[in-house]
Amino acid sequence: MSELIKVEIEKLSKEIEEHNYNYYVLSNPTISDFEFDKLLEELIKLEKEHPEYLKPDSPSQRVGGQITKEFKSVKHKYPMLSLGNTYNEEDLRDFDERIRKSGISNYEYVCELKYDGVSISLTYVDGILSQAVTRGDGEKGDDITANVKTINSIPLNLRGNDFPAEFEIRGEIFMPKKEFLRINEDIRKQLIEEGYNEEEIYEKQLKNPRNATSGTLKQQDSKAVAERKLDCYLYSVLGENLPFKSHYESLEAAKSWGFKVSGEMEKFASLDGVIKYLEKWDTKRHSLNVETDGVVIKVNSYEHQRFLGFTAKSPRWAIAYKFKATQVSTLLESISYQVGRTGAITPVANLKPVLLAGTTVKRASLHNADIIEKLDVRIGDTVFVEKGGEIIPKIIGVDLNKRAGSGTNLFEEETGPTKYITHCPECGTELVRSEGEANHYCPNELGCPPQVKGKIEHFVSRKAMDIDSLGSETIAQLYDAGLIKTIADIYELKKEDLLKIERMAEKSANNLLEGIEASKKVPFERVMFAIGIRHIGETTAKKLAYYFKNIDSIINATLEQLLEVGDIGEKTAQTIIAYFADEKSVEIINKLKVQGLQFELSGEQLANKSEKLKDLTFVVSGVFTKFNRDDLKKTIEQNGGKNVGSISGKTSYVIAGENMGPEKLKKAEKLGVKIISEDDFIKMIE
């Protein structure tokens, strides 16, 4: 029986890896995502029931979940060198000249794109991925095997049977551009809901795909790595007595073993071909889903490579040609100032449209007054625009030769240094800038139109009061008609008022009033989020609600009490205090109370009961930051789960805190029991 299961696990693993290969390496899936998930689920189930058959190269490892507290430092068998750089054709001709003069002839070049990511060295023993190490200082790097196993295009075991018993293969792990944009869009949506302004969002977003890759690979929880879909191109095979005569041949073989080798690689008999390749990719690279910053040119034959050898830092047989940073100059036509929902002012440069790295750029953020001053940008200037990480455009400087007085400025007169606005462009209130803050703010929170409309939009949004029939257009109409000036006014709306609004028919008015009525049942923690205190996102609102249990305790809370709530820092605590110190805020809360909104936890919430963890068993190990151990255990029970003392094949989850014992960790890994953090646990009971 158990032999049959072993065979079944092996068969399933093979089948899943084949689909992985089709999807991620060949980009040619042959089954649907749904069917794929079913197969994987089946495998995970069997491995859980029979942990003795869980192998380190099982595709279930790609889902992640393994926690590495500290990455082990590993000495590279072959040092990881860097490449000499060239920036123009002349340098490249010098490189070619040096090779010719060394005495070799009839040499070929292989050109590959230079991928902008994080280099990695993978070791395979008997066809199985045994170790993945970062470059580090070139001599020693970090063992990030668990994280690398989650990258779907990296084979956990190799195809065919003609690979060397032991070898290393090196390449570049990168974050595809589309994935980078997707993650940034998610971060943006989340932060907008939490009331952050453009500048703060920009600060918190991923800066470029390379940084994002390196940050992701440093994660201790491999599940976090699995969630960000990294990819990897392999470009160099290393080992003793490799059966190849050339680099090109080695990569062709690597391809047949299941590695993702770039399709952009080409072989040339002379430098002329190389130069044509550079010209072609200088622009074409922008259409790829991976960032590239140059071309790597390598002498193909291994014999030639051995002959040419190395300098102290880099091989003499290879060189990198770096593309010029994609930069253009254009005219700064005007600067506009946007007022966000929180009152933060963001200056935006309006540019004469210009093509840059494949997209038309019309606007660029100028961030804040300091940046404008530092760059000394003036309206009418010709400015240099560059794409940071090729994705977000920014102004990097001014072409002073083209400023007024030089005779080439497109504006008649010198416009003088940019004077930052002193008053809100929307409501005319004088702006303020607090000590240490980069942004100017409009303090007229309850009277500045975009702030008020923004507050109301946030209040009715899905994760807040969820009044979905009240869209931003209707809000603007109601606001302009003077029918709503604060969030409390929503509950005073009458049908006859609504019917006065353009395009509002009887039916939509009824719908809206029903939606407003229904929102009175929305639980306290969401009301807390909806009222829109700066820096109070969904999670913090929930924590406040559960900690203080009702609004009056929050209104009366001292700084010290607020700081006792997990994850609330000094700045957030101060914001909460300032918010409730304003009697206008308290007045709005009082009006909402009278209307019957939920300003305390319900009886059920107080009892904190649910069946969400029914049939699940937990082992709690280590020290936690958001619960003490007893509370954590109590919470498990109140939600229908069971606590057990030691890990077995039947354990559903280990909740790992700081300093979890290494033995427990090992045992959980061996038995394939899922290890989760306290945050994962909180998500389970939400």
Question: Which residues belong to the active site?
Answer: 114
The reply to whether 556 sits near ligand IVH by the rule CB under 6 A is: no
* Among 122, 296, 369, 588, interactor with ligand IVH by CB under 6 A: 296
CB of 607 vs ligand IVH, minimal distance in Å: 56
Cα angle 265, 268, 274; round to 5: 80
Q: Least separation, in Å, of the C-beta of 168 and ligand IVH?
A: 12
Q: Does 83 bind ligand IVH (CB under 6 A)?
A: yes
Residue type, position 434, single letter: S
Collapsing DSSP states into helix, strand and coil, what is residue 394?
strand
Residues in 318-357 that interact with ligand IVH by CB under 6 A: 318, 320
Q: Which residue from 462, 465, 225, 425 is spatially nearest to 334, judged by alpha carbons?
A: 425
Nearer to ligand IVH, 82 or 472 (CB): 82
Closest distance of CB 356 from ligand IVH, Å:
23
Residue with tokens 């794409």: 387
Phi, psi dihedral angles at 615 (to 5 degrees) = 70, 5
x-marked contacts with ligand IVH along 665-684 as a string, rule CB under 6 A:
--------------------
- Site for ligand IVH contains 119 (CB under 6 A): yes
Interface segment toward ligand IVH; rule CB under 6 A; list 15-23, 313-321, 392-400, 436-444:
313-321
Q: Which amino acid is at 471?
A: G
Collect all residues with Cβ–Cβ distance below 8 Å to 416 and sequence separation of at least 6: 378
Bridge partners, 349 (sequence order): 335, 364
Between residue 217 and residue 256, which ones bind ligand IVH under the rule CB under 6 A?
Answer: 235-236
612: which residues sit within 8 A by CB, 6+ positions away?
Answer: 639, 640, 684, 685
172 binds ligand IVH (CB under 6 A): yes
What residues are paired with 643 via a beta bridge? 618
Q: Which is nearer to ligand IVH, 87 or 559 (CB)?
A: 87
Nearer to ligand IVH, 15 or 293 (CB): 293
With respect to ligand IVH, which residue has the nearer C-beta, 275 or 379?
Answer: 275
Per-residue contact flags (x/-) with ligand IVH for residues 99 to 118, judged by CB under 6 A? -------------x-xx---
* Shortest reach from residue 285's CB to ligand IVH, in Å: 12
3-state secondary structure of 215: helix
315 binds ligand IVH (CB under 6 A): yes
Site track for ligand IVH across 39-78, x = CB under 6 A:
----------------------------------------
Identity of the residue, 315 or 523, whose beta carbon is nearer to ligand IVH in the bound complex: 315
CB of 321 to ligand IVH, least distance (A): 11
Q: In this complex, which beta carbon is closest to ligand IVH, that of residue 1 or of residue 312?
A: 312
Interface segment toward ligand IVH; rule CB under 6 A; list 212-220, 310-318, 498-506, 593-601: 310-318
For residue 24, count other CB atoms closer than 10 A to its CB: 18
81 counts as binding ligand IVH under rule CB under 6 A: yes
Q: In the bound complex, what is the minimum distance in angstroms from residue 82's beta carbon to ligand IVH?
A: 4
**How many residues form the binding site for ligand IVH (CB under 6 A)?**
16
Choose between 53 and 281: whose C-beta lies nearer to ligand IVH. Answer: 281
Q: Of 307, 295, 243, whose CA–CA distance to 99 is shortest?
A: 307
Two tokens, residue 658: 């700081």
Angle at 149 (CA atoms; ends 230, 684), nearest 5 degrees: 80
Nearest to 538 by CA among 193, 188, 199: 193
Give the full edge-to-edge strand order of the sheet including 653-656: 642-643, 617-621, 653-656, 674-676
Task: Tell me the residue type at 14.
Answer: K
Compute CA distances 637 → 92, 476, 621, 646, whole Å: 69, 48, 16, 17
Residues 588, 589, 592, 593, Cα dihedral to 10°: -140
Q: Is 300 in the site for ligand IVH (CB under 6 A)?
A: no
Closer to ligand IVH by Cβ: residue 39 or 81: 81
* Beta carbons of 280 and 268 less than 8 angstroms apart: no
When CB distances to ligand IVH are compared, the closest residue is 119
Q: Check residue 136 for interaction with ligand IVH (CB under 6 A).
A: no
Rounded Cα distance, 138 and 156, in Å: 24
In this structure, what token pair is assigned to residue 117? 């990511």
Residue 594: φ, ψ to 5°: -60, -35
Binding site for ligand IVH (CB under 6 A): 81-83, 112, 114-115, 119, 135, 172, 235-236, 296, 314-315, 318, 320
